[in-house]
Structure 1
Amino acid sequence: MCPSSGGIWGLYALTIRLKKANEILLQKPRARIGLYGSYASALSLNELQKLAPSTNTTLLDPDLALTYGITLGSVRLRERIAELHSSPEVELTAANVVITPGSSMANHLVLATLCGPGDHIISLAQKNNIVVFSDEAFSPLFHTKDQAPPLVSLGSPRTLSTGSLSKAYALPDIRIGWVVSQDKEIIHRVSALRDYTTISVSLLDDSVAAFALSKEVLPQLMERNLRLCAESITLLDEFVKRNAQRCRWTKPKGSGVAFVQILNKDRSASDDLVFSKKLAEEAGITVIPGSYSFAEEGANDLKGYLRIEIGSPERLREALVAIEEFVHKYDFF
Structure 2
Amino acid sequence: MSMPERMMPEIMNGRGSTVANAYLERRFDTFPVHLQLDTLRSHSRSMHTQRGIEINLSLEGDAYYVVGTRVYRQMPGQLMLVPGHLPHQIYVDPSCSYRRAALCIDGEGRSRAMPQWLPLLLQFPRLSVSGCSQMTLPPEKMHAIQASLTSIYDEMNRQHEAGWQQMVVSHAIQLLVLIERSFQAGSESAPVGITAPAGQGFDPAAILDPIEACCQYIHGHLKEDLTLQKIADRFHFSPEHLTRRFKRNKGISLYQYVLRQRVLESKRMLLHEPGMTMTDIAYAVGFGSSQQFSRVFKSVLRTSPSDFRRTGHDGQDKSIPCRTNKA
Question: What TM-score, normalized by structure 1, do the two folds share?
Answer: 0.25
Larger-Rg structure: 2
Q: For CA contacts below 8 A with separation 6 or more, give which structure has more relative contact order.
A: 1
Question: What TM-score, normalized by structure 2, do the two folds share?
Answer: 0.25
Higher strand share: 2
Higher helix share: 2
